């Protein structure tokens, strides 16, 4: 199996959409130091509760278990079907695009949510073969075992009735499945500030976020613990960001001036340690 080829294939397939959503990242996989232990006692005491039965499905898959070195737990979710979120390395998934309700790229995972005929997807995966001479040349998947209702294949591919999961690492997908089943630590359980961000963001077809400031642009403030953002549509450059500073005292004029650079004609709203920015990414 050509793992280096698979990494290039995934990067090429999602760079356009993920890079636009992140505004400041080329691939959506900005690497920062691990800030998952950033909670203060005060934050934990005021942590918002999560009704896991009613939240959007993708939030149940978000894990705080690092999947890569220096992971920032980056996530990019689209609440629709788009080929830009389907890697050619698992091109057979496009045969089932009518069954997909949303796609998530998260810290090295590609997860397609929906209502699937598991047997049909398993057959398609088992018969998939990369295009000879192309970037997927030599890619094939071998069925290995069944785990908690998911059929596992080599190279971290898993197929269930509710999701098709591909792990960018050459390992099994069991850790991600355990997160979905609430056996492994979820992102919001480890850092309730992400829940506070979700609560403050408007509804959107695309949702992004991560620990630390966005990399690759003008915002590099160490005072930013994490952030999230939404867009109403994939065609729009209008976006809402919620940045979370270390504390209210960290939200200085200098920090606000730096955060304003993420948008064209930004509108700012400050609520304690939370800074909301509405504006255009200016990439259209």
Residue 106: which residues within 8 A CB-CB, separation 6 or more? 61, 62, 63, 73, 74, 75, 76, 77
pTM confidence score = 0.83
Taking CA atoms, 27 is separated from 30, 222, 270, 281, in Å, by: 7, 21, 29, 16
Taking CA atoms, 156 is separated from 67, 76, 145, 224, in Å, by: 12, 19, 12, 33
* Cβ pair 9, 27 in contact under 8 A: no
Residue ranges of domains in the chain:
3-32+57-187, 188-280
> With 50 as the cut, is the pLDDT of residue 7 above it?
no
Q: Which of 18-27, 58-67, 161-170, 230-239 has the lowest mean pLDDT?
A: 18-27
Confidence bin at 255 (pLDDT 50/70/90) = very high
Average model confidence (pLDDT) across the chain: 83
> With 70 as the cut, is the pLDDT of residue 25 above it?
no
Q: What is the pLDDT at residue 37?
A: 44
Residue 259: which residues within 8 A CB-CB, separation 6 or more? 219, 221, 241, 243, 268, 275, 277
Give percent of the chain above pLDDT 90.
Answer: 60
State in Å, rounded, how far the first CA of the chain is from the last one. Answer: 38
Q: How far apart are CA 126 and CA 117, in angstroms?
A: 14
- Three-state SS at 53: coil
> With 50 as the cut, is the pLDDT of residue 96 above it?
yes
Tell me the pLDDT tens digit for each residue of 39-55: 444 444 466 889 999 99
Q: How far apart are CA 88 and CA 272, in angstroms?
A: 44
- Per this entry, what is the length of the chain? 284
> With 50 as the cut, is the pLDDT of residue 20 above it?
no
Q: What is the pLDDT at residue 46?
A: 63
Mean pLDDT of the region 23-47: 45
Q: What is the pLDDT at residue 226?
A: 96
Q: What is the pLDDT at residue 283?
A: 55
* Cβ pair 200, 180 in contact under 8 A: no
Q: What is the pLDDT at residue 240?
A: 97
DSSP codes, 143-160: EEEEETTEEEEGGGEEE-
Mean pLDDT of the region 265-270: 95
Q: What is the pLDDT at residue 266?
A: 94
Q: How far apart are CA 109 and CA 157, in angstroms?
A: 10
Tell me the pLDDT tens digit for each residue of 56-84: 999 999 998 876 667 899 999 999 988 88
Mean pLDDT of the region 150-172: 86
Radius of gyration of the chain, Cα coordinates, nearest whole angstrom:
19
> With 60 as the cut, is the pLDDT of residue 19 above it?
no
Q: What is the pLDDT at residue 219?
A: 76
Q: Which of 80-94, 157-171, 193-207 has the lowest mean pLDDT?
A: 157-171
Mean pLDDT of the region 265-273: 96
> With 50 as the cut, is the pLDDT of residue 13 above it?
no
Q: What is the pLDDT at residue 41?
A: 42
Q: What is the pLDDT at residue 36?
A: 46
> With 60 as the cut, is the pLDDT of residue 23 above it?
no
Tell me the pLDDT tens digit for each residue of 172-214: 688 889 999 999 889 999 999 999 999 999 999 999 999 998 8
For 184, counting Cβ atoms within 10 Å of its Cβ (0-12 exposed, 13-18 middle, 19+ buried), the class is middle
Quote the strand ranges of 89-233, DSSP E.
100-106, 109-114, 143-147, 150-153, 157-159, 163-167, 206-211, 224-231
* Cβ pair 58, 101 in contact under 8 A: no
């Amino acid at each position: 199996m050509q793992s280096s080829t698979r990494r290039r294939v995934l990067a090429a397939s999602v760079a356009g959409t993920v890079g636009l959503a992140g505004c400041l990242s080329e691939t959506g996989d900005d690497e920062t130091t691990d800030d998952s232990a950033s909670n203060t006692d005060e934050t934990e005491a005021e942590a918002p509760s999560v009704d896991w039965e009613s939240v959007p499905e993708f939030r149940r898959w978000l894990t705080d278990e690092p999947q890569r070195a220096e992971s920032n737990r980056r996530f990019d979710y689209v609440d629709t079907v788009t080929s830009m979120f389907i890697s050619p390395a698992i091109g057979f998934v496009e045969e089932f695009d009518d069954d997909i309700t949303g796609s998530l790229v998260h810290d090295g995972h590609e997860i397609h949510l929906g209502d699937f005929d598991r047997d049909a997807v398993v057959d398609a995966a088992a018969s998939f073969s990369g295009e000879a001479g192309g970037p997927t040349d030599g890619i094939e998947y071998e069925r290995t075992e069944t785990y908690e209702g998911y059929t596992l294949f080599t190279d971290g591919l898993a197929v269930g009735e509710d999701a098709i999961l591909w792990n960018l690492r050459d390992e099994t997908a069991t850790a991600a499945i355990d997160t979905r089943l609430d056996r492994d630590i979820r992102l919001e359980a480890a850092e309730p500030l992400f829940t506070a961000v979700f609560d403050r963001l408007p509804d959107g077809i695309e949702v992004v976020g991560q620990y630390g400031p966005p990399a690759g642009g003008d915002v590099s403030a160490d005072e930013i613990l994490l952030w999230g953002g939404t867009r109403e549509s994939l065609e729009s450059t209008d976006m809402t960001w919620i940045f979370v500073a270390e504390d209210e005292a960290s939200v200085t004029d200098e920090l606000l001036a730096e955060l304003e650079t993420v948008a064209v004609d930004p509108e700012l709203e400050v609520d304690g340690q939370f800074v909301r920015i509405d504006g255009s990414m200016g990439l259209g």
